Structure 1
Amino acid sequence: WSSSAGSAPGFRQAAGRRGEEARSPVRYRELPMAYEPPVMCHCSPPRKAPRWISWSRQNPGRRYYSCVDAMVSVVFFA
């Protein structure tokens, strides 16, 4: 993906922000793949899904899993 290590993926669009890329307001203390036990995505073949942190108003600070290859919103909350 196009974002720097330790930050949210740059391909996500923030709702209501006129097409600006949504980014994490703070750097991640742990990398998105640094967790156990693994949560597998529903892609073929299944792979470990990265764990992100939500910065939305509805779910601030909530951890979730989302496959980087998903073109639609496939999210698994922790």
Structure 2
Amino acid sequence: MRVHSAWFMLGSLVVIAVASIAFLFYEASIDSDAAPWLVLGNHVLLSLLVRSRFGIIWLFRFILIFVAFVL
């Protein structure tokens, strides 16, 4: 029984991490008025992560997801 719940929790964390990264790309594309695949080329992601309240909160949330994944 414990093995099934551990796999479920691991799968849930992966889904949350992927969705969080997708949301970051979406926000960066909205912020720069560009397509989501273009935000890597013009440094919008780095600017969004470092210079905005959304980025700071996103980084903190992603660190918590990573810590939960490691534990």
Which TM bucket (shorter chain)? Answer: under 0.3
Q: Which has the higher strand share?
A: 1
Give the structure-1-normalised TM-score: 0.22
| Bigger RCO of structures 1 and 2 (CA < 8 A, at least 6 apart) | 2
Give the structure-2-normalised TM-score: 0.23
